[in-house]
């Protein structure tokens, strides 16, 4: 039987990019409450000021599995453990692996000790903040680490994101032993994007060795990138203005920003004329086949056919 007074607890703590100012209050509380802190030495150094009498277990990056197992075992034995990740623990961090270890040990949320996930500011948000507003339109994150993911999977995702015009944050772009991945990523992006596409390299955001560089897709392979860098690649609309990377939200599709008036054919607070309803009306009226429309809009023919069939049914109703 587990006595609640001796019951352990596991905090999965994301400490944000580095400095204490960008750590949440709950992360600080979790660290203060814990009797054992487990993490990579770099992250433990970042929270050193918060350590009082907690036991501190340092480990190196390659010992992630050991760290997760140790955290689970100690919590099972009644300790209050804070497992520290940089950024957010759920974003290429320790959380996923730890849940796998937990479930394998027979732990369930109903019967096991409490596990609390403490969200943190992930690198793409902190790095973006330092260079302007590059993520103001659809974006995605891709890790270039092939330690656990086959390269064709990574390459397909890079290709899809590049083709779909996402702003992309590349995590784990390079390490001592992995230098080519970033070059291949650049090559794939150049198949879809202009060589002058703005790119930001943000290294050690909010840490003492912070380094920012704005460059272009064409130049990416000639710039310094390390395992402490997040690479932000703009979409086709992203531009650099006065040293800031800005991705437009799309306001100019609808508004004249100076006069704050709407452009012809658009209404404030309503979907664009090319939004879903407007687009449906256009393709219905145009009389093109599903195959032609699929080609024109880069969408699956099955989808177009289904949309047209629905529209026909609605008209008949």
User: HSE-up of 274 (CA within 13 Å, CB side)?
Assistant: 5
What lies within 8 Å, CB to CB, of 203 at 6+ separation is: 209, 210, 211, 212, 224, 225, 226, 228, 229, 230
Q: Which CB atom, from 45 or from 194, has the smaller least distance to ligand SAH?
A: 45
Instruction: Indicate which single residue of 97, 163, 227, 272 sits in contact with ligand SAH (rule: CB under 6 A).
Output: 227
Of residues 258-277, which lie at the interface with ligand SAH (CB under 6 A)? none
Q: Which CB atom, from 16 or from 198, has the smaller least distance to ligand SAH?
A: 16
Which has the closest alpha carbon to 121: 95, 90, 81, 166? 90
Measured from the Cβ of residue 48, the count of other Cβ atoms closer than 10 Å reads: 8
Would you give the distance in Å from CA 144 to the centre of its chain? 13
CB of 89 to ligand SAH, least distance (A): 6
92 binds ligand SAH (CB under 6 A): yes
17 binds ligand SAH (CB under 6 A): yes
Q: Which helix (H) or strand (E) holds 156?
A: helix 151-163
230 binds ligand SAH (CB under 6 A): yes
85 binds ligand SAH (CB under 6 A): yes
Instruction: Indicate which single residue of 80, 98, 122, 197 sits in contact with ligand SAH (rule: CB under 6 A).
Output: 122
User: HSE-up of 48 (CA within 13 Å, CB side)?
Assistant: 6
199 binds ligand SAH (CB under 6 A): no
Q: Interface with ligand SAH by CB under 6 A: which range of 80-88, 96-104, 148-156, 301-309?
A: 80-88
Question: Alpha-carbon distance 180 to 274, whole Å?
Answer: 41
CB of 278 to ligand SAH, least distance (A): 38
Which has the closest alpha carbon to 102: 68, 51, 131, 153? 68
The bridge status of strand 239-241 relative to strand 244-246 is antiparallel
The bridge status of strand 167-171 relative to strand 139-143 is parallel
Name the residue number minimizing CB distance to ligand SAH. 87
91 binds ligand SAH (CB under 6 A): yes
Q: For the purposes of burial, counting CB atoms within 10 Å of the CB of 90, is it exposed (0-12), middle (13-18) or buried (19 or more)?
A: middle
130 binds ligand SAH (CB under 6 A): no
Q: Interface with ligand SAH by CB under 6 A: which range of 49-57, 66-74, 120-128, 233-241?
A: 120-128
Q: Interface with ligand SAH by CB under 6 A: which range of 122-130, 213-221, 245-253, 286-294?
A: 122-130
172 binds ligand SAH (CB under 6 A): yes
CA distances to 151, 210, 223 from 176, rounded to whole Å, are 17, 19, 15
Of residues 34-73, which lie at the interface with ligand SAH (CB under 6 A)? none
Q: Which residues bind ligand SAH (CB under 6 A)?
A: 17-18, 85-88, 91-93, 122-123, 127, 171-172, 202-207, 227-230
């Amino acid at each position: 039987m587990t006595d609640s007074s001796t019951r352990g607890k596991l905090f999965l703590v994301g400490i944000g990019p580095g400095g204490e100012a960008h750590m949440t209050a709950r992360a600080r509380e979790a660290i203060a409450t814990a009797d054992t802190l487990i993490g990579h030495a770099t992250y433990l150094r970042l929270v050193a000021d918060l350590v009082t009498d907690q036991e501190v277990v340092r480990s190196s990056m390659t010992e992630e599995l050991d760290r997760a197992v140790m955290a689970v075992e100690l919590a099972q034995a009644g300790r209050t453990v804070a497992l520290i990740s940089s950024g957010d623990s759920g974003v290429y961090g320790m959380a996923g692996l730890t849940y796998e270890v937990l479930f394998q040990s027979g732990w369930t949320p109903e019967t096991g000790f409490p596990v609390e996930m403490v969200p943190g500011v992930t690198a793409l948000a902190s790095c973006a903040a330092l260079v302007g507003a590059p993520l103001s339109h659809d974006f995605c994150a891709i890790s270039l680490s092939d330690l656990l993911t086959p390269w064709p999977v990574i390459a397909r995702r890079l290709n899809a994101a590049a083709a779909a015009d996402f702003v992309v944050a590349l995590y784990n772009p390079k390490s001592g032993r992995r230098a080519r991945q970033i070059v291949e990523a650049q090559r794939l992006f150049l198949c879809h994007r202009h060589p002058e596409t703005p790119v930001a390299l943000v290294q050690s955001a909010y840490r003492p060795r912070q380094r920012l560089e704005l460059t272009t897709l064409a130049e990416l392979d000639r710039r310094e990138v390390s395992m402490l860098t997040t690479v932000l690649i703009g979409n086709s609309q992203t531009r650099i203005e006065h040293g800031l990377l800005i991705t437009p939200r799309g306001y100019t599709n609808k508004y004249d920003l100076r006069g704050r008036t709407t452009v012809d054919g658009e209404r404030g607070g309503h979907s664009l004329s090319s939004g879903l309803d407007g687009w449906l009306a256009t393709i219905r009226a145009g009389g093109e086949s599903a195959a032609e429309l699929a080609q024109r809009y880069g969408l699956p023919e099955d989808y177009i056919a289904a949309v047209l069939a629905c529209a026909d049914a609605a008209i008949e109703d």
